[in-house]
Amino acid sequence: MNKKQDKIKAKVKKQKLLFLDLAAMNYMIFGVAVLTIILGYVSLSKGPADSFWSLTLAPILLVIGYCILVPLAIFWRSKKPKNP
């Protein structure tokens, strides 16, 4: 019976790992990411094609939004206190 319980616990643990447990902080980070991406596209459309906005600021904002903030919003986990 002990082996059966171990299999059940392993299955529950595996299912827990597959589930994304997103908290309010995750959604706030995702909101900041969306705003950053929108600002990146808006700055991309400003001015002529060789301006500071289009060549420098827009790519920086888009990279920060897509490559840093969106993954951070997905993988962020709050530190929970350990119960003794």
pLDDT one-digit tens code per residue, 12-71: 666 665 566 778 899 999 999 999 999 999 999 988 989 999 999 999 999 999 999 999
Q: Token pair of 2, please? A: 């002990």
65 is a domain residue: yes
Q: What is the pTM of this model?
A: 0.72
- Find the Cα–Cα–Cα–Cα dihedral 78, 68, 17, 26, rounded to 10°: 40
Higher pLDDT, 81 or 3: 3
1 is a domain residue: no
Q: Which residues contact 37 (CB under 8 A, 6 or more apart)?
A: 61, 62, 65, 66
Determine the structural domain holding residue 35 and report its residue range. Answer: 20-75
Number of domains composing the chain: 1
48 is a domain residue: yes
Specify the pLDDT at position 3.
72
pLDDT of residue 2 exceeding 70: yes
Give the integer Cα–Cα distance in Å for 31 and 70: 9
Q: Token pair of 73, please? A: 């919003």
64 is a domain residue: yes
Say if residues 82 and 54 touch (Cβ distance below 8 Å): no
Element (H, E) at 37: helix 24-45
Specify the pLDDT at position 20.
66
